[in-house]
Amino acid sequence: MPTIIDGRKTSEQIKSEIAAQVSEIKAKGGKIPHLAAVLVGNDGASQTYVGAKVKACEQVGFESTLVRLEETVTEGELLKVVQDINQNPAIDGLIVQLPLPNHISVEKVTNKIKPEKDVDGFTPANVGRMTLGWPAYVAATPYGIVELLKRYAIETAGKHCVVIGRSHIVGSPMSILMARNEYPGNCTVTLTHSRTKNLPEIAQSADILIVALGKPGFVTADMVKEGAVVIDVGIHRVEDVSKKSGFRLIGDVKFEEVATKASAITPVPGGVGPMTIASLLHNTLLAAEGKIYSK
Ligand code: NAD
């Protein structure tokens, strides 16, 4: 049986570590970390994600502010909200929930966020700093994966890491992090994408396979080397009449068959997913402490 890399348990552990740090800050009369989340419109999934982030803040003792704006808000008005939060010394971290309505430029809004408060790690400043190996806010999903590898003491130096998918929020940063000259890293990295030829052969040569292409059950056992570590980022709802909800969640990896070959694997649900909120809390704590950018 492979090691099941349990993201749910690990994220709870991280949350309790952060809660303990907040108690210490409180005891010393220090500043309580404060996250502001901006939500535009009424998209159901976005409301759920933001709601979960705000609830997690409460759980660990952070302060939080949720700014809700109408779907019809103008780009200028949203930029002004971001600017006001940038300048508000009471707020340490700021996230703008994506996607935004079509009439608003994600690029302009992202660029407006003060890098010192960019706890999502989406601004060019933080992506650049991460690439340079400087202290940076690393985006939640890649950071969560790095943390899982660390906490499960997965050996990475000299290993071949294959990343499937090159999105800006998962695949690309993951490839950079795994190649860095530190632990976890020092891998020889192959970044694959929709135009890659011979993907199954490349995947088969991976010691560490990180899968983030957004196609349910794409990775099958014949694409995986015996003993590989498999990290499944994908998350999809599929119909399941046996469930009360009528659906269940699956990943980009066919878990049952790949688990028979892997030495360690993340399940879906309960793998990478729960780590993202823990990562956001971690970044917000760093922001409050001024650990990335000295204040
Ligand atoms: P995306 O759609 O932005 O990018 C997908 C990438 O996969 C692209 O770079 C594309 O080139 C590549 N790709 C597509 N088809 C391919 C193929 N046949 N072979 C090789 N590469 C191919 O996706 P994303 O935002 O990175 O998300 C990927 C998956 O991860 C989705 O299922 C998403 O829901 C999930 N996700 C989960 C979390 C989490 O917290 N667990 C966070 C972010 C994304």
pLDDT value for 294: 75
Is residue 289 assigned to a domain? Answer: no
Residue 174 has pLDDT above 80, yes or no: yes
| SS3 (DSSP) at 54 | helix
Residue 286 has pLDDT above 70, yes or no: yes
Strand partners, 210: 163, 231
Is residue 176 assigned to a domain? Answer: yes
List the CATH number of the domain containing 111: 3.40.50.10860
Structure tokens at 233: 């980022």
Amino acid at 110: T
**For the residues 193-205, what does the mean pLDDT come to?**
98
Cα–ligand 1 centroid distance for 166 (angstroms): 7
pLDDT value for 167: 97
What is the C-alpha R_g of the chain?
19
Residue 168 has pLDDT above 60, yes or no: yes
Out of 10, 213, 215, give the residue to mutate to test ligand 1, the one with the largest number of ligand atoms within 8 Å of its CB. Answer: 213
Is residue 17 assigned to a domain? Answer: no
Parallel, antiparallel or unpaired: strands 160-164 and 34-40: unpaired
Q: Distance (Å, rounded) from C-alpha 134 to C-alpha 278?
A: 21
Nearest alpha carbon to residue 55 among 66, 39, 44, 46: 66
**% of the chain residues with pLDDT over 90:** 99
Kindly give, in sequence order, each residue whose CB lies less than 8 Å from that of residue 81, ignoring residues fewer than 6 positions away. Answer: 38, 67, 69
Q: Which domain holds residue 149?
A: 140-273
Amino acid at 251: G
Cα–ligand 1 centroid distance for 214 (angstroms): 4
Same domain, 104 and 149: no
Distance of CA 15 to the CA centre of its chain: 15
Model confidence band, residue 291 (pLDDT cutoffs 50, 70, 90)? confident
Residue 229 has pLDDT above 70, yes or no: yes
Same domain, 248 and 158: yes
Residue 225 has pLDDT above 70, yes or no: yes
Kindly give, in sequence order, each residue whose CB lies less than 8 Å from that of residue 106, ignoring residues fewer than 6 positions away. Answer: 98, 99, 100
The 10s digit of each residue's pLDDT in 145-165 is 999 999 999 999 999 999 999
Distance of CA 141 to the CA centre of its chain: 2
Q: Distance (Å, rounded) from C-alpha 140 to C-alpha 218?
A: 23
**For the residues 169-196, what does the mean pLDDT come to?**
98
53 a catalytic residue: yes
Same domain, 144 and 258: yes
Residue 34 has pLDDT above 90, yes or no: yes
Scanning the structure block, which residue is given the tokens 């906490």? 151
Parallel, antiparallel or unpaired: strands 236-239 and 247-250: antiparallel
List the CATH number of the domain containing 234: 3.40.50.720
Cα–ligand 1 centroid distance for 294 (angstroms): 34
pLDDT value for 239: 94
Is residue 282 assigned to a domain? Answer: no
Out of 167, 197, 220, give the residue to mutate to test ligand 1, the one with the largest number of ligand atoms within 8 Å of its CB. Answer: 167
Domain boundary among 115, 130, 152: 115
**For the residues 206-219, what does the mean pLDDT come to?**
98
Is residue 81 assigned to a domain? Answer: yes
- Whether residue 11 has its Cβ less than 6 Å from ligand 1: no
pLDDT value for 16: 98
**% of the chain residues with pLDDT over 70:** 100
Same domain, 80 and 172: no
The 10s digit of each residue's pLDDT in 62-114 is 999 999 999 999 999 999 999 999 999 999 999 999 999 999 999 999 999 99
| Cβ(264)–Cβ(230) below 8 Å | yes
Is residue 55 assigned to a domain? Answer: yes
Is residue 226 assigned to a domain? Answer: yes
- Whether residue 190 has its Cβ less than 6 Å from ligand 1: no
CA geometry: angle at 40 spanning 102 and 78, to 5°? 80
Distance of CA 203 to the CA centre of its chain: 23
Which of the following is catalytic: 15, 53, 112, 159? 53
Is residue 287 assigned to a domain? Answer: no
**For the residues 23-32, what does the mean pLDDT come to?**
96
Domain boundary among 100, 115, 130: 115
- Whether residue 273 has its Cβ less than 6 Å from ligand 1: yes
120 a catalytic residue: yes
Nearest alpha carbon to residue 144 among 260, 220, 58, 231: 231
47 a catalytic residue: no
Which of the following is catalytic: 15, 97, 159, 254? 97
Ligand 1 atom, smallest distance to 251 CA: 32
Full-model pTM: 0.96
Q: How many independent structural domains does the chain possess? A: 2
